[in-house]
Amino acid sequence: MKKRLVIFASGNGTNTQNVINYFATSQSAEVVCVLSNKKDAKVLERAKSSDIKALAFSKAEMLSPDGLIDNLKKLAPDLIILAGFLLKFPEIILREFPNKVLNIHPALLPKYGGKGMYGTHVHKAVVDNKETETGITIHYVNENYDEGAIIFQAQTALLPSDSPEDVAKKVHQLEYDWLPKVIDGLISE
């Protein structure tokens, strides 16, 4: 029986699309639902166009004991993936799905993690601090921003001339290359 993947995302959903594409022909897993806290997020359109259930929810539904958790229980995910999900993930869901929630972060944690450190904010900080490398971190989610156990990291070299946009391109490539493979490895264990 295929493992069931649920993805949470808040925006465009390029990482989500990459994971959907990777597992589209897989015998080991399938993306069964994409959830977003923004009803107009492009990620929901991406899921629907791939014939995957797509749901939007409010912050109140996310925090309610009988809101989003009930939907998640029905979906019975083997793994929950946060791919550009910008809200703090609620402890109520983490308790229901222990060690089943992972996040991809666009930096080498513990550097450039924490509240407000996402997307362009991270890449700008990396450039402002004249870092010579950056990368991605895939980690389990706990009750604190970006502090869960690290599963995987990949690095890329930076040039002194790199802009935040250049850094973003390099980091996105690492995300596309590694997120589906790391998920596949975890569900195969």
**Beta strands per DSSP E along 12-159:** 29-36, 53-56, 79-82, 101-105, 133-140, 150-157
Catalytic pick among 105, 121, 123, 139: 105
**Which segments in the chain show pLDDT lower than 70?**
none
Task: Please report the pLDDT score of residue 72 as a whole number.
Answer: 95
Q: What is the pTM of this model?
A: 0.95
Task: Give me the pLDDT at residue 64, please.
Answer: 84
Cβ contact 131:112 at 8 Å: no
Instruction: Walk me through the domains of the chain, giving residue ranges and CATH numbers.
Output: 3-188 (3.40.50.170)
User: Whose structure tokens read 């797509």?
Assistant: 54
Of 63, 41, 90, 164, the closest CA to residue 55 belongs to 41
pLDDT for 189: 77
121 part of the active site: no
